Structure 1
Amino acid sequence: MKKEQLEITLADALPKDAKALLDFYKEVGAETDYLSFGAEGLGINQEQETRYIKSLEDAPNNRLLIARLGDDIIGVASVGAEQHAKIAHVGELGISILRRFWGLGLSKVMMEDMIDWAIENEILRYLRLEVSNDNMRAITLYEKYRFEKIGKTPNGMYHDGQFHDLVLMGLNVENTDQAE
Protein backbone atom coordinates (compact mmCIF):
# COMPACT_ATOMS: atom_id res chain seq x y z
CA MET A 1 0.00 0.00 0.00
CA LYS A 2 1.34 3.38 -1.00
CA LYS A 3 1.47 6.11 1.65
CA GLU A 4 -0.54 9.20 0.88
CA GLN A 5 1.44 12.42 0.84
CA LEU A 6 -0.23 15.40 2.48
CA GLU A 7 0.69 18.99 1.77
CA ILE A 8 0.32 20.77 5.08
CA THR A 9 1.11 24.46 5.37
CA LEU A 10 2.05 26.40 8.50
CA ALA A 11 1.26 30.09 8.88
CA ASP A 12 0.64 32.58 11.63
CA ALA A 13 -3.03 33.22 12.32
CA LEU A 14 -4.72 36.21 10.71
CA PRO A 15 -7.92 37.95 11.86
CA LYS A 16 -9.79 36.32 8.95
CA ASP A 17 -9.04 32.92 10.56
CA ALA A 18 -11.15 33.63 13.66
CA LYS A 19 -14.26 31.63 12.73
CA ALA A 20 -12.28 28.66 11.41
CA LEU A 21 -10.19 28.67 14.59
CA LEU A 22 -13.26 28.64 16.82
CA ASP A 23 -14.66 25.72 14.78
CA PHE A 24 -11.32 23.91 15.12
CA TYR A 25 -11.30 24.37 18.91
CA LYS A 26 -14.78 22.87 19.17
CA GLU A 27 -13.77 19.86 17.08
CA VAL A 28 -10.45 19.22 18.82
CA GLY A 29 -12.04 19.83 22.22
CA ALA A 30 -14.58 17.10 21.52
CA GLU A 31 -11.85 14.62 20.57
CA THR A 32 -9.73 14.60 23.71
CA ASP A 33 -10.03 15.01 27.45
CA TYR A 34 -6.54 16.49 27.71
CA LEU A 35 -7.41 20.08 26.78
CA SER A 36 -8.74 22.65 29.24
CA PHE A 37 -11.96 22.86 27.17
CA GLY A 38 -14.31 20.40 25.55
CA ALA A 39 -16.74 20.40 22.64
CA GLU A 40 -17.95 23.84 23.73
CA GLY A 41 -14.65 25.29 22.49
CA LEU A 42 -13.10 28.37 23.98
CA GLY A 43 -16.34 29.99 25.04
CA ILE A 44 -15.73 33.17 23.09
CA ASN A 45 -17.34 34.59 19.99
CA GLN A 46 -15.86 35.39 16.59
CA GLU A 47 -15.47 39.09 17.38
CA GLN A 48 -13.47 38.29 20.53
CA GLU A 49 -11.25 35.83 18.67
CA THR A 50 -10.68 38.37 15.89
CA ARG A 51 -9.65 40.97 18.49
CA TYR A 52 -7.29 38.48 20.11
CA ILE A 53 -5.61 37.64 16.80
CA LYS A 54 -5.26 41.36 16.00
CA SER A 55 -3.72 41.92 19.44
CA LEU A 56 -0.91 39.55 18.52
CA GLU A 57 0.46 42.24 16.19
CA ASP A 58 1.31 44.33 19.28
CA ALA A 59 2.56 41.39 21.36
CA PRO A 60 5.89 40.26 19.91
CA ASN A 61 6.25 37.55 22.56
CA ASN A 62 2.96 35.87 21.54
CA ARG A 63 2.23 33.70 18.54
CA LEU A 64 -0.60 31.62 17.11
CA LEU A 65 0.55 29.13 14.47
CA ILE A 66 -1.96 27.29 12.27
CA ALA A 67 -1.41 24.04 10.37
CA ARG A 68 -3.66 23.68 7.34
CA LEU A 69 -4.53 20.95 4.95
CA GLY A 70 -6.06 22.85 2.06
CA ASP A 71 -8.44 25.34 3.65
CA ASP A 72 -8.98 23.25 6.80
CA ILE A 73 -7.23 23.97 10.08
CA ILE A 74 -5.87 20.68 11.41
CA GLY A 75 -3.53 21.91 14.14
CA VAL A 76 -2.73 24.94 16.26
CA ALA A 77 0.30 25.81 18.35
CA SER A 78 0.55 28.91 20.48
CA VAL A 79 2.78 30.80 22.85
CA GLY A 80 1.05 33.23 25.14
CA ALA A 81 3.00 35.63 27.34
CA GLU A 82 2.14 38.67 29.40
CA GLN A 83 3.29 42.11 28.30
CA HIS A 84 4.31 43.20 31.81
CA ALA A 85 8.10 43.64 31.77
CA LYS A 86 8.72 41.52 34.86
CA ILE A 87 7.14 38.39 33.35
CA ALA A 88 7.12 39.04 29.58
CA HIS A 89 10.02 36.62 29.11
CA VAL A 90 7.94 33.55 30.10
CA GLY A 91 5.62 32.07 27.49
CA GLU A 92 2.93 29.42 27.92
CA LEU A 93 3.12 26.85 25.11
CA GLY A 94 0.11 24.95 23.82
CA ILE A 95 -0.39 22.58 20.92
CA SER A 96 -3.42 20.70 19.63
CA ILE A 97 -3.94 18.60 16.54
CA LEU A 98 -7.06 16.91 15.22
CA ARG A 99 -7.01 13.22 16.13
CA ARG A 100 -7.09 11.96 12.54
CA PHE A 101 -3.72 13.71 11.99
CA TRP A 102 -1.99 12.22 15.04
CA GLY A 103 1.05 10.08 14.33
CA LEU A 104 2.07 11.88 11.15
CA GLY A 105 4.84 13.96 12.73
CA LEU A 106 2.87 17.21 12.64
CA SER A 107 3.30 17.82 16.36
CA LYS A 108 7.08 17.53 15.94
CA VAL A 109 7.13 19.99 13.04
CA MET A 110 4.97 22.47 14.94
CA MET A 111 6.98 22.04 18.14
CA GLU A 112 10.26 22.66 16.32
CA ASP A 113 8.83 25.73 14.60
CA MET A 114 7.58 27.19 17.89
CA ILE A 115 10.81 26.48 19.79
CA ASP A 116 12.93 27.97 16.98
CA TRP A 117 10.69 31.04 16.98
CA ALA A 118 10.96 31.34 20.78
CA ILE A 119 14.77 31.06 20.68
CA GLU A 120 14.95 33.84 18.09
CA ASN A 121 12.42 35.99 19.94
CA GLU A 122 14.05 39.01 21.57
CA ILE A 123 11.84 38.84 24.67
CA LEU A 124 11.22 35.18 25.49
CA ARG A 125 13.65 33.29 27.68
CA TYR A 126 11.52 30.42 28.98
CA LEU A 127 8.61 28.29 27.78
CA ARG A 128 6.35 26.40 30.14
CA LEU A 129 3.30 24.20 29.80
CA GLU A 130 0.97 22.03 31.83
CA VAL A 131 -0.01 18.56 30.73
CA SER A 132 -2.20 15.89 32.30
CA ASN A 133 0.04 13.34 34.03
CA ASP A 134 -1.63 10.51 32.10
CA ASN A 135 -1.09 12.11 28.68
CA MET A 136 2.08 10.11 28.07
CA ARG A 137 2.06 10.84 24.34
CA ALA A 138 2.38 14.57 24.98
CA ILE A 139 4.86 14.19 27.84
CA THR A 140 7.09 12.04 25.62
CA LEU A 141 6.97 14.71 22.90
CA TYR A 142 7.86 17.50 25.32
CA GLU A 143 10.71 15.52 26.85
CA LYS A 144 12.07 14.85 23.35
CA TYR A 145 12.43 18.61 22.99
CA ARG A 146 14.22 18.92 26.37
CA PHE A 147 11.27 20.17 28.41
CA GLU A 148 11.88 19.23 32.03
CA LYS A 149 9.33 18.37 34.68
CA ILE A 150 9.47 21.23 37.18
CA GLY A 151 6.39 20.64 39.31
CA LYS A 152 2.79 19.54 39.43
CA THR A 153 -0.67 20.77 40.23
CA PRO A 154 -2.45 18.07 42.22
CA ASN A 155 -5.97 17.41 40.90
CA GLY A 156 -5.47 20.17 38.32
CA MET A 157 -7.71 18.61 35.69
CA TYR A 158 -10.98 16.69 35.79
CA HIS A 159 -11.86 14.18 33.08
CA ASP A 160 -13.11 10.61 32.81
CA GLY A 161 -15.00 11.14 36.07
CA GLN A 162 -11.90 11.73 38.14
CA PHE A 163 -9.24 14.27 38.99
CA HIS A 164 -5.78 14.10 37.42
CA ASP A 165 -2.56 15.82 38.37
CA LEU A 166 -1.09 18.30 35.92
CA VAL A 167 2.63 18.13 35.27
CA LEU A 168 4.34 21.50 34.89
CA MET A 169 7.18 21.42 32.37
CA GLY A 170 9.64 24.07 31.24
CA LEU A 171 12.33 24.80 28.69
CA ASN A 172 15.00 27.51 28.66
CA VAL A 173 14.95 29.21 25.24
CA GLU A 174 17.43 31.98 25.91
CA ASN A 175 19.78 32.37 22.97
CA THR A 176 23.36 33.63 23.15
CA ASP A 177 22.41 37.08 21.82
CA GLN A 178 20.06 37.52 24.80
CA ALA A 179 22.51 36.51 27.50
CA GLU A 180 23.71 39.45 29.52
Structure 2
Amino acid sequence: MIIDQQSYDCRGLHYIIRSAEIADAQAMSQLRVQIDGETEYMDRERGEAYLSPDDFERVIKMDTEQSANLFLVAEAENKLIGYARCEGSELKRLAHRAEFGIGVCKPYWGFRVGTELLRQAIAWADANDILKLSLSVLECNTKALRLYEKHGFEIEGRLRNDKRLADGRLYDTIVMGRLRSQT
Protein backbone atom coordinates (compact mmCIF):
# COMPACT_ATOMS: atom_id res chain seq x y z
CA MET A 1 0.00 0.00 0.00
CA ILE A 2 1.18 3.52 -0.71
CA ILE A 3 0.44 6.58 1.44
CA ASP A 4 0.78 10.28 0.70
CA GLN A 5 4.05 11.87 1.81
CA GLN A 6 3.88 13.89 5.03
CA SER A 7 6.32 16.60 6.21
CA TYR A 8 7.35 17.27 9.81
CA ASP A 9 9.49 19.77 11.70
CA CYS A 10 10.77 19.11 15.20
CA ARG A 11 13.47 21.00 17.08
CA GLY A 12 15.05 22.29 13.87
CA LEU A 13 14.91 19.00 11.96
CA HIS A 14 12.79 18.79 8.83
CA TYR A 15 11.88 15.27 7.75
CA ILE A 16 9.35 13.48 5.63
CA ILE A 17 7.55 10.19 5.98
CA ARG A 18 6.58 8.41 2.80
CA SER A 19 6.04 4.97 1.37
CA ALA A 20 9.22 3.04 0.61
CA GLU A 21 10.21 2.88 -3.05
CA ILE A 22 12.33 0.35 -4.93
CA ALA A 23 15.04 3.02 -5.17
CA ASP A 24 15.31 2.88 -1.33
CA ALA A 25 16.46 -0.75 -1.28
CA GLN A 26 20.21 -0.06 -1.00
CA ALA A 27 19.75 2.57 1.69
CA MET A 28 17.28 0.36 3.60
CA SER A 29 19.75 -2.53 3.64
CA GLN A 30 22.39 -0.26 5.19
CA LEU A 31 19.93 1.47 7.52
CA ARG A 32 18.68 -1.78 9.01
CA VAL A 33 22.24 -2.92 9.79
CA GLN A 34 23.02 0.48 11.31
CA ILE A 35 19.93 0.56 13.54
CA ASP A 36 20.45 -3.05 14.65
CA GLY A 37 23.93 -2.05 15.83
CA GLU A 38 22.82 1.09 17.66
CA THR A 39 20.42 -0.49 20.11
CA GLU A 40 19.71 -3.75 21.83
CA TYR A 41 15.98 -3.15 21.53
CA MET A 42 15.87 -4.80 18.11
CA ASP A 43 15.71 -8.59 17.70
CA ARG A 44 18.96 -8.71 15.74
CA GLU A 45 22.54 -7.72 16.38
CA ARG A 46 24.38 -5.77 13.69
CA GLY A 47 24.53 -7.87 10.52
CA GLU A 48 22.33 -10.74 11.71
CA ALA A 49 19.52 -11.86 9.39
CA TYR A 50 21.00 -9.52 6.79
CA LEU A 51 18.67 -8.36 4.03
CA SER A 52 20.48 -7.39 0.84
CA PRO A 53 19.28 -4.59 -1.45
CA ASP A 54 17.72 -7.29 -3.66
CA ASP A 55 15.86 -8.65 -0.63
CA PHE A 56 14.56 -5.17 0.16
CA GLU A 57 13.48 -4.68 -3.44
CA ARG A 58 11.30 -7.78 -3.11
CA VAL A 59 9.87 -6.66 0.25
CA ILE A 60 9.13 -3.14 -0.97
CA LYS A 61 7.51 -4.46 -4.15
CA MET A 62 5.35 -6.89 -2.15
CA ASP A 63 4.36 -4.23 0.39
CA THR A 64 3.46 -1.77 -2.37
CA GLU A 65 1.23 -4.30 -4.13
CA GLN A 66 -0.51 -5.87 -1.12
CA SER A 67 -3.20 -3.82 0.57
CA ALA A 68 -2.56 -5.56 3.90
CA ASN A 69 1.08 -4.35 4.04
CA LEU A 70 2.68 -0.96 4.53
CA PHE A 71 6.36 0.00 4.38
CA LEU A 72 7.19 3.55 5.47
CA VAL A 73 10.50 5.38 5.51
CA ALA A 74 11.51 8.58 7.25
CA GLU A 75 13.93 10.78 5.34
CA ALA A 76 15.93 13.81 6.51
CA GLU A 77 19.06 15.52 5.27
CA ASN A 78 18.83 13.51 2.01
CA LYS A 79 19.08 10.13 3.73
CA LEU A 80 16.82 7.53 5.31
CA ILE A 81 16.71 7.86 9.09
CA GLY A 82 13.97 5.43 10.06
CA TYR A 83 11.32 3.01 8.91
CA ALA A 84 8.13 1.30 9.96
CA ARG A 85 6.54 -1.76 8.49
CA CYS A 86 3.12 -3.32 8.88
CA GLU A 87 2.68 -6.84 7.61
CA GLY A 88 -0.80 -8.22 7.30
CA SER A 89 -2.16 -11.47 5.98
CA GLU A 90 -4.18 -12.40 2.93
CA LEU A 91 -5.75 -15.27 4.93
CA LYS A 92 -9.41 -14.47 5.66
CA ARG A 93 -9.18 -15.41 9.34
CA LEU A 94 -6.19 -13.13 9.85
CA ALA A 95 -6.96 -10.35 7.36
CA HIS A 96 -8.16 -8.02 10.13
CA ARG A 97 -4.73 -7.66 11.73
CA ALA A 98 -1.15 -6.62 10.99
CA GLU A 99 2.19 -6.93 12.78
CA PHE A 100 4.00 -3.63 13.31
CA GLY A 101 7.72 -2.87 13.66
CA ILE A 102 9.73 0.33 13.75
CA GLY A 103 13.34 1.50 13.76
CA VAL A 104 14.94 4.94 13.97
CA CYS A 105 18.65 5.86 13.77
CA LYS A 106 19.96 6.83 17.19
CA PRO A 107 21.08 10.36 16.18
CA TYR A 108 17.42 11.06 15.32
CA TRP A 109 15.90 9.85 18.58
CA GLY A 110 14.04 12.67 20.30
CA PHE A 111 12.74 14.29 17.09
CA ARG A 112 9.37 12.46 17.16
CA VAL A 113 10.32 10.36 14.11
CA GLY A 114 9.17 7.14 15.80
CA THR A 115 6.00 8.81 17.03
CA GLU A 116 5.10 10.07 13.56
CA LEU A 117 5.89 6.72 11.93
CA LEU A 118 3.59 5.09 14.49
CA ARG A 119 0.85 7.68 13.89
CA GLN A 120 1.04 7.13 10.12
CA ALA A 121 0.84 3.35 10.59
CA ILE A 122 -2.20 3.69 12.85
CA ALA A 123 -3.91 6.06 10.39
CA TRP A 124 -3.24 3.60 7.55
CA ALA A 125 -4.59 0.68 9.60
CA ASP A 126 -7.72 2.56 10.61
CA ALA A 127 -8.39 3.61 7.00
CA ASN A 128 -7.81 0.12 5.59
CA ASP A 129 -9.97 -2.15 7.70
CA ILE A 130 -7.07 -3.36 9.85
CA LEU A 131 -8.81 -3.85 13.18
CA LYS A 132 -5.73 -4.86 15.15
CA LEU A 133 -2.09 -3.81 15.13
CA SER A 134 0.28 -6.04 17.11
CA LEU A 135 3.88 -5.54 18.18
CA SER A 136 6.52 -6.84 20.55
CA VAL A 137 8.80 -4.69 22.69
CA LEU A 138 11.44 -5.45 25.30
CA GLU A 139 10.39 -4.77 28.88
CA CYS A 140 13.41 -2.49 29.37
CA ASN A 141 12.42 -0.24 26.44
CA THR A 142 10.28 1.96 28.67
CA LYS A 143 10.12 4.88 26.22
CA ALA A 144 8.61 2.63 23.54
CA LEU A 145 6.20 1.07 26.02
CA ARG A 146 4.94 4.53 27.04
CA LEU A 147 4.66 5.62 23.40
CA TYR A 148 2.64 2.57 22.42
CA GLU A 149 0.35 2.85 25.46
CA LYS A 150 -0.20 6.54 24.69
CA HIS A 151 -1.43 5.51 21.24
CA GLY A 152 -3.92 2.92 22.44
CA PHE A 153 -1.80 -0.24 22.60
CA GLU A 154 -2.43 -2.54 25.53
CA ILE A 155 -0.29 -5.28 27.00
CA GLU A 156 -1.64 -8.63 25.89
CA GLY A 157 1.08 -10.89 27.17
CA ARG A 158 4.61 -11.41 28.33
CA LEU A 159 7.20 -13.80 26.97
CA ARG A 160 9.35 -14.51 30.00
CA ASN A 161 13.15 -14.56 29.68
CA ASP A 162 12.75 -14.14 25.94
CA LYS A 163 15.89 -12.20 24.96
CA ARG A 164 19.46 -12.24 26.24
CA LEU A 165 21.17 -8.86 25.98
CA ALA A 166 24.86 -7.92 26.10
CA ASP A 167 24.78 -7.70 29.90
CA GLY A 168 24.10 -11.46 29.95
CA ARG A 169 20.70 -11.03 31.56
CA LEU A 170 17.44 -12.38 30.18
CA TYR A 171 14.60 -9.93 29.54
CA ASP A 172 10.90 -10.36 28.94
CA THR A 173 9.28 -9.41 25.66
CA ILE A 174 5.99 -7.57 26.04
CA VAL A 175 3.33 -8.39 23.42
CA MET A 176 1.03 -5.45 22.75
CA GLY A 177 -2.01 -4.87 20.59
CA ARG A 178 -4.20 -1.99 19.55
CA LEU A 179 -7.80 -2.68 18.61
CA ARG A 180 -9.55 -0.13 16.46
CA SER A 181 -12.90 0.89 17.82
CA GLN A 182 -15.65 -0.74 15.77
CA THR A 183 -18.32 1.79 16.69
TM-score (norm 1): 0.90
Q: Find the partner of 1:134 among 134, 140, 147.
A: 140
Distance in 2, matches of 1:110 and 1:55, equals 20
Q: Do the aligned partners of residues 27 and 115 (structure 1) sit closer, same or farther apart at CA in structure 2, a change above 3 Å counting?
A: same
Residue pair 1:25, 1:41 contacting (<8 A) in 2 also: no
The residue correspondences of 1:15-164 to structure 2 (distance < 5 A) are 15-40=22-47, 42-122=49-129, 124-160=130-166, 161-164=168-171
Counting matched residue pairs gives 173
Q: After the TM superposition, which segments of 4 or more aligned residues of structure 1 sit over 2 Å from their partners? A: 173-176
Cα-to-partner distance string for 1:78-113 (whole Å, 9 max, x where unaligned)? 111122111121111111111111111222211111
- For the residue of structure 2 that corresponds to 1:140, the secondary structure is helix
Distance in 1, matches of 2:154 and 2:84, equals 19
Matched-pair identity in %? 27
In the alignment, residue 115 of structure 2 is paired with which amino acid? Answer: K
Distance in 1, matches of 2:88 and 2:38, equals 27
Distance in 1, matches of 2:49 and 2:30, equals 10
Q: Do the aligned partners of residues 143 and 103 (structure 1) sit closer, same or farther apart at CA in structure 2, a change above 3 Å counting?
A: same
Residue pair 1:22, 1:41 contacting (<8 A) in 2 also: no
Distance in 1, matches of 2:182 and 2:66, equals 20
Distance in 2, matches of 1:104 and 1:4, equals 7
Distance in 2, matches of 1:114 and 1:4, equals 23
Distance in 1, matches of 2:122 and 2:66, equals 17
Residue pair 2:13, 2:111 contacting (<8 A) in 1 also: no
TM-score (norm 2): 0.88
The Cα shift of 1:117 comes to 0.9
Q: Do the aligned partners of residues 166 and 6 (structure 1) sit closer, same or farther apart at CA in structure 2, a change above 3 Å counting?
A: same
The Cα shift of 1:44 comes to 2.3
The Cα shift of 1:42 comes to 4.0
Distance in 2, matches of 1:166 and 1:173, equals 23
Residue pair 2:41, 2:137 contacting (<8 A) in 1 also: yes
